[in-house]
Chains A and B, each alone.
Chain A
Amino acid sequence: MAATPGAAITGQSEAERLLEARSTRNAWALSAPALILLFCAAAGPLLIVLVYSFLTKGPTGGVVWEFSTEAWLGVLYTRDIFNDGNLVLADAHLTIFWRSVKISLLTTLITFAVGFPTAWFIATRPPKARAFWLFLITIPFWTNLLIRTFAITEIIRNEGLLNKALIGIGLISAPIRLMNTDTAVLIGMAYVYLPLMVLPLFAAIDRFDMRLLEAGYDLYASRLQVLRHVVLPIVKPGIIAGSILVFIPSLGAYVTPRVLGGGKNMMIGNFIELQFGQGRNWPLGAALSMALLLVVMLAMILYVRTATKGGKSHG
């Protein structure tokens, strides 16, 4: 115990260093299971898809281990078999991309138009009623997506509930054909993704100070102006979150367009599936997946940037 003050200080810092090293080690050890799972389930498969997109397609599906950029070219172009295999823009691909973007944007708009009043209604209920309404909103999540989608066909098909009811009240004489149209896909998507819009909107509106409505109203703003200049800018983070949560899965949707859109009204998700199935062009499927991922990522970065910047210049 003949420690000089100096030795005591170094001894202490030594102990601290050891403790720190140990806590760092512990942190890694504790997060290891999650990290391993994350790598195996997310990063790993993505890596495989990336590698496949640069390989040559096998004769009956699968890949041949030979480097090729053919698949990436195939995302936008196709070989003209009558003209020495020259590259020409693939109209069919572009149509599918455009339909996917269009339907996803419309889905986002519709879910916002329906979701905003819904979220507002829920957020302005007393706490107990609020829990009840939120519970109702989340109920569809308990049922399998495929079953829910088939339930929609039961409503919108020619002999379905909707047409029967409309004919019954004499509004139309012949059933409106909805099945296997873009409209059917849109209805299904809006229904499926509505909760993803309502929940973030609810969270934002719930935090909104309702007294600001009176303040705006008092300062010569009409109801519409209060909505535009007070409510929307303040709940903007909820709108951004909701749009992202709806738009991204919409773009990659598979089940809904498949069941409600039939074979013709394909979206990117179905197109990718086609390459791995009947198309037997795995590299193209892989390249399409990666392209979708990149485009969505870029679009989101751009969207969030402009949306938040817009908030600042507005604010």
Chain B
Amino acid sequence: MAKDVIKAFGQGETVVRALDNVSVEIKTGEFFTLLGPSGCGKTTLLRLIAGFEMPSSGQILIDGQDVTGQPPNQRAVNTVFQSYALFPHLSVAENIGFGLKMKGVAKAEIDSTVKEMLALVKLEAMAGRKTSQLSGGQQQRVALARALAPRPKVLLLDEPLSALDLKLRKEMQVELKRLQTETGITFVFVTHDQEEALTMSDRIAVMSAGRIQQLGAPREIYTKPRNRFVASFIGETNFLNATAVAGGGKLASGQVIAADTAGKSGPVTLAVRPEHVTITAADEAGAIPAEVLGSVYFGTDMNYQLALPDGSEIEACVQSGVSGEASIAKGAKVGIRFAPGSVLLLED
């Protein structure tokens, strides 16, 4: 879909590459998420697809057709804006019908499509209201319906849930997924919220510094992060510096952690999720000795900070007990184990 796209701002020495040779193919009918911190280029990529910006070089293809030079009003792509950008002078129904009206669709057809869209986002009762009379969640639905009404080939969503409170956001996540399945339209969703990305997407592209760091299904991104950025941006991760030896990585203090380090030598970075760290008795065979530095209560979970013999710190996440009290005291000498296959070798 986007082919070798470079978007550069500025000129000469001060040039900033918002997108640096990004190539990504989005499949028809898929829920695709661009995930990354602010300034990573995800919104720029979205604006390139919408046509609000032109790439410095490279192409944008939709359905195999080059649309790089086309203005937004000629692309079969609609956007749900972060601020919704609803037209304040129009009613809910007129907002939804706007795109069709501009396309020159017959009035009767506009009316029936608007009705259909109102039903789709469950706002039938609000058709005649001004958008200023709606709640944030309702405005969000109008914005969705307005962008879906012309049946675009691609729907772009620019952090549409960021203005909603937590409960509403969860509801809308389910709602968005439902809309996408019902309409079968390709969704390209931009967010900095990893949970949003993991729960809704078919595939995720994790972006940083204008590049795609990793592209894959949510499960793959979470369980097999390719590099340090992806591992730390998605979920919590412990990083360990080790030296590659046969069958694992050797810590500076001599203990060997089992991992697939085949074909590697020299210093490597290992990653392991806190929930894959188990705390055992200090003298258990094969366990790495550690000292408890402290604990934090998270409701369902309890996080322990531990110091390894080489001086590095790691976190272990265990289910909290019935009482919610830490069962292991600060300063206690314990052993830790990693779930088999949970320690990953990162390409740095």
Contact = CB atoms under 8 A, between A and B. Distances in A.
A234 interface: yes
Nearest to B71: A217
A230 B87 contact: yes
Contacts of A219: 73, 78, 98-99, 102, 146-147, 150
B79 A218 contact: yes
B87 to A, nearest CB: 6
Given A209-B85, A211-B83, A225-B102, A218 B91 contact: no
B50 A218 contact: yes
A272 to B, nearest CB: 41
A283 B90 CA distance: 51
A217 B98 CA distance: 11
Interface residues on B, range: 20 to 34
Interface in A56-104: none
Interface string B49-85: 0101000000000000000000111100111010101
A229 interface: yes
A215 interface: yes
A217 B72 contact: yes
Nearest to A314: B89
Contact of A214 (B85, B101, B102, B150): B85
Interface string A199-219: 000000000010110111111
Contacts of A46: none
Nearest to A220: B102
A225 B83 CA distance: 22
B315 interface: no
B94 interface: yes
B57 to A, nearest CB: 23
Contacts of A218: 50, 52, 72-73, 77-79, 147
A221 interface: yes
A26 interface: no
Interface string A225-256: 10001100110100000000000000000000
A217 B53 CA distance: 12
A160 interface: no
Contacts of A5: none
A209 B83 CA distance: 10
Contact of B99 (A220, A222, A315): A220
A140 interface: no
A277 interface: no
B78 A311 contact: no
A71 B73 CA distance: 62
B81 A315 contact: no
A311 B85 contact: no
Given A214-B81, A215-B81, A217-B73, A315 B94 contact: yes
Nearest to A208: B88
B167 interface: no
Nearest to A230: B87
Given A220-B102, A221-B102, A315-B94, A214 B72 contact: yes
B112 to A, nearest CB: 18
Nearest to B50: A218
A95 B146 CA distance: 53
Contacts of A211: 81, 83, 85
B89 A234 contact: yes
B52 A315 contact: no
B146 A311 contact: no
Nearest to B78: A218
Nearest to A233: B89
Contact of A220 (B50, B85, B103): B103
Contacts of B72: 214, 217-218
Interface string B105-142: 00000000000000000000000001000000000000
Contacts of B79: 214-215, 218
Contacts of B103: 220
A220 B89 contact: no
Contacts of B85: 209, 211-212, 214-215
Interface of A: 209, 211-212, 214-222, 225, 229-230, 233-234, 236, 311, 314-315
Leading 7 A-B pairs by shortest Cβ distance: A219-B99, A215-B85, A220-B102, A221-B102, A315-B89, A211-B85, A233-B89
Given A214-B81, A234-B87, A311-B89, 4 more contacts: A214-B52, A218-B50, A219-B147, A229-B102
14 contacts: A217-B52, A217-B71, A218-B50, A218-B79, A219-B73, A219-B99, A220-B74, A220-B99, A220-B150, A229-B101, A234-B88, A234-B89, A315-B89, A315-B130
